[in-house]
């Protein structure tokens, strides 16, 4: 009997396109500053637009809720991001702001949080700066306060600091987005478990409750006969879609 060889292209099926994750973005600063320093808010909003444009190119579905200036606007942003069901929340600290502006967002989002502090440039123009210009470089100022409040509230977070054009900072931000993508894939996956270990090997047994607790997704127990029946039902068209 002559067997027809499997074409090389069928040996390694094409991977399905990865689903883009939904990333929420919110920027903020203390509204008390705006009447005192009229040029400050437009500058910070422009920085926020740069951040938004850069993140939108990272193969994500970006939910940008804009710029907030007080806790009331923070609460409104929190509701928008909660309703959007984001896989990750990025909070941009443009200048000093109170922790009460961001912590409701972190608490309600039910998603990993990344605090970013990206100042306008590598260094200030020290010969010509004034208080307003200095405040545009104060994104690092609220970071310890945010960290303390988030820690006490039991909200996990990570942070990235740098300046807008610093590629090293963007590499880190992209890495955290990729990590959130892995988390999203696991939380929406179907995990199959088949067979069992040699009796008595307690150190390598699979706790399905813990897999579901930490990874999310669905756990399904398969017997070998179940797998055989399922494989026999798969069509050539379905194989090509894998």
Residue range 10-42, pLDDT digits in tens: 444 444 556 689 999 999 999 999 999 999 999
Q: How far apart are CA 167 and CA 82, in angstroms?
A: 30
pLDDT at 3: 45
Q: How far apart are CA 92 and CA 164, in angstroms?
A: 11
pLDDT at 102: 96
- For residue 134, give its domain range: 21-186
For residue 12, being part of any structural domain is answered with no
Contact 205, 197 (CB under 8 A): yes
Looking at the 3D structure of the chain, how many domains does it have?
2
Does one domain contain both 65 and 113? yes
Residue whose entry in the numeric block shows the structure tokens 């069992």: 196
Structural tokens at position 67: 């710029």
Question: Quick one: which of 133, 156, 164, 143 has its CA closest to 48?
Answer: 164
Does one domain contain both 133 and 212? no
With pLDDT > 70 as the criterion, what percentage of the chain qualifies?
A: 92
**What separation in angstroms does the CA of 17 have from each of 14, 59, 182, 241?**
9, 11, 14, 11
Phi/psi of residue 39, nearest 5 degrees: -85, -10
Average pLDDT over the chain reads 89
Count of other CB atoms within 10 angstroms of residue 239: 10
Total count of residues recorded for the chain = 242
Domain limit, last residue, from 186, 204, 227? 186
The answer, yes or no, to whether residue 98 has pLDDT greater than 80, is yes
Q: Model confidence over 162-186: pLDDT tens digits? A: 999 999 999 999 999 999 999 988 8
- Say what the pTM is: 0.82
Contact 27, 21 (CB under 8 A): no
């Amino acid at each position: 009997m002559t067997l027809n060889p499997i074409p090389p292209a069928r040996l390694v099926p094409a991977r399905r396109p990865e689903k883009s994750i939904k990333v929420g973005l919110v920027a903020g600063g203390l509204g008390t500053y705006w009447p005192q320093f009229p040029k400050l808010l437009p500058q910070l909003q422009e920085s926020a637009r740069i951040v938004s444009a850069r993140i939108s190119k990272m193969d994500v579905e970006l939910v940008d809720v804009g710029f907030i200036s007080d806790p009331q606007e923070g609460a409104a942003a929190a509701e928008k991001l909660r309703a959007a069901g984001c896989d990750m929340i990025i909070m941009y600290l443009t200048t000093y702001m109170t922790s009460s502006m961001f912590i409701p967002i972190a608490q309600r989002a039910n998603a990993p949080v990344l605090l970013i502090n990206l100042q306008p440039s590598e260094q200030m123009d020290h010969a010509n700066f004034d208080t307003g210009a200095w405040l545009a470089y104060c994104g690092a100022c609220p970071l310890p306060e945010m960290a303390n409040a988030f820690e006490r509230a039991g909200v996990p977070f990570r942070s990235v600091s740098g300046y807008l054009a610093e590629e090293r900072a963007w590499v880190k931000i992209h890495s955290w987005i990729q990590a959130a993508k892995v988390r999203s894939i696991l939380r929406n996956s179907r995990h199959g478990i088949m067979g069992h270990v040699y009796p008595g090997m307690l150190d390598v047994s699979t706790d399905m409750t813990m897999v579901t607790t930490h990874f999310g997704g669905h756990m399904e127990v398969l017997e070998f006969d179940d797998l055989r029946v399922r494989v026999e039902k798969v069509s050539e068209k379905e194989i090509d879609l894998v």
